A and B are shown apart, each in its own frame.
Chain A
């Protein structure tokens, strides 16, 4: 059972801004970095946001991450058709001594 809660789906039209939330607790998001992953259909996940708000090399600046308290968010601005994918948040959990992933959010471009 996932410890981090995400909405199951999100959608938008091309060019719109979409935000995905990730809700955790003091033992994970509240005290550690958050990571975001994009998984395109039929492929392995890819790191999208490192250490809560850093974009790895090659990730478009349309993607941004933020964290406040025990929650985090991923924003996709200027939505494009190729952004249709599943998105997962993750964080270290001090109580579990392990990483926890979010439940995942499927983004659809209408």
Chain B
């Protein structure tokens, strides 16, 4: 069974940093693309970033480009999102989501999410 467990969320001040982690199990992590998607309270879904299975391809939403960095450690079956220069509008539940086999693909399986709150 595919399992994705996010961690690292919490309360951070504007301008601060946070690193989200996603522990994957139940599948061969190194073979699948991964994504981060967020959802502000009471709002819709917003794609944040995607990374291919070998990290060869990485894409970001314009809203986070230059501030967020996606990475993965296939040896540890883990996905990360380093978030710097955080703003109030970054407040959201952040979902880790697995794509399809190989290159960039949209979310197929989702974790339960971790809440990030940016507030002074």
Interface residue tally for chain A (C-beta within 8 Å): 24
B residues in contact with A39, CB < 8 Å: 45
Residues facing A in B32-91 (CB within 8 A) are: 35, 37, 44-47, 50, 59-62
Are A101 and B107 in contact, with the CB atoms below 8 A?
no
Known contacts A96-B62, A98-B60, A98-B61; decide if A47 and B44 are in contact (CB<8 Å).
no
CB closest residue in chain B, given A97: B59
B110 interface hit (Cβ, 8 Å): yes
CB distance B44 to A46 under 8 Å?
A: no
Across the interface, B44 reaches (CB within 8 A) one of A43, A92, A98, A104, namely: A104
Q: Is the CB of A90 within 8 A of B47?
A: yes
Interface majority SS (helix, strand, loop, mixed), chain A: strand
Task: Tell me if B111 counts as interface (CB < 8 A to partner A).
Answer: yes
For A44, A56, A92, the residue with the greatest tally of chain B CB atoms inside 10 Å of its CB is A44
A50 touches B44 (CB 8 A): no
Contact partners of B106 in chain A: CB under 8 A? 35, 90, 92, 99
- State whether the Cβ of A45 lies closer than 8 Å to any Cβ in chain B: yes
Q: Are B44 and A2 in contact (CB under 8 A)?
A: yes
CA distance A45 to B108 in the complex (A): 9
Chain A residues near B47 (CB-CB < 8 A): 90, 98-101
Q: Report which residue of B45, B60, B113 has the largest number of chain A beta carbons within 10 angstroms of its beta carbon.
A: B45
B residues near A (Cβ < 8 Å) are 35, 37, 44-47, 50, 59-62, 95, 104, 106-113
Given contacts A35-B107, A44-B111, A88-B44, list 10 more A-B pairs with CB under 8 A. Answer: A44-B112, A45-B95, A47-B107, A56-B108, A92-B106, A97-B59, A98-B47, A98-B60, A98-B61, A104-B44
